[in-house]
Amino acid sequence: MNQRILAFDFDGTIAEEGQVPIEVIEVFRQAHLQSHALFLVTGRLFRQADIKGILPYLTGIVWENGAVLEHLSSERVSLPFGTLPELLVKGLEQTGIEMLTGMAIAATWAQHESLVKQVSDRHNYCPTLDWNKLALMILPTGANKGSGLKRLLEQCQFSSGTLMAFGDGENDQSLLAIADTAVAVQDAVPSLQEIAHVVSKSPGPSGVVEILQDLLGEANVE
């Protein structure tokens, strides 16, 4: 049996309205028993997701769209790309736009993209901007889901050569781009489906269960 590194987006991929269905928890358990290494790769702010059902089966978590890494066995949390400059965050806040801030990033609505760029230019900083449907994430330079997972895999001494990654949104493009097998769920945005090696027949979490059951079933046949 070939052990794989399995990486999953959260919202819209393994979770619906912030909750992970029992079917996903069970297939994660089965994958863990077959010695696959499971990683969560999410745009959620640090520890702002209900993952208690899958937590026992995870090796690590990429939070804040790649900017915050959590290696679970060592309890190590790292910010390999640093944080947004404090003055930039304050400048964005002073515009009055609706915004969330995390350990390393900020997030607002995609409609504010031009304003975010104007404020960034005034502060001579070039953040990474990443979109997730109607949301815009403002990240430290160089941070995205793909680069964040690469750093975490290095910490775990894994190669990304056996990586299977799952996603549904625009901000999952960098994640799928580094995968040996890139999986988009059936209701993923068109741009993600275009770069995926596999598109599930079912949407969202059901699509993840579908693909994982096929993978685990192949191992049982072997």
Q: Report domain extents, the chain.
A: 5-80+143-221, 86-139
Residue-wise pLDDT tens digits, 80-137: 999 999 999 999 999 999 999 999 999 999 999 999 999 999 999 999 999 998 999 9
**Higher-confidence position of 6 and 3:** 6
Report the pLDDT value the prediction gives residue 161, as an integer from 0 to 100: 62
For the chain, how many residues are written? 222
Is the confidence at residue 160, as pLDDT, over 60? no
Classified by CATH at the fold level, domain 5-80+143-221 comes out as: Rossmann fold (3.40.50)
| Structure token digits, residue 165 | 């990654």
Q: How far is CA 218 from CA 35, 87, 149, 214, in A?
A: 14, 53, 26, 6
DSSP 107: E
Q: How far is CA 1 from CA 34, 133, 163, 189, in A?
A: 9, 37, 15, 32
State the pLDDT confidence band at 8, using cuts at 50, 70 and 90.
very high
In this prediction, residues 56-71 reach a mean pLDDT of 98
In this prediction, residues 55-63 reach a mean pLDDT of 98
Report the pLDDT value the prediction gives residue 2, as an integer from 0 to 100: 73
Q: How far is CA 23 from CA 10, 53, 202, in A?
A: 15, 11, 13
**Higher-confidence position of 161 and 28:** 28
Nearest to 4 by CA among 40, 31, 41: 31
CA 72 to the chain's CA centroid = 16
Q: How far is CA 93 from CA 68, 104, 140, in A?
A: 22, 15, 17
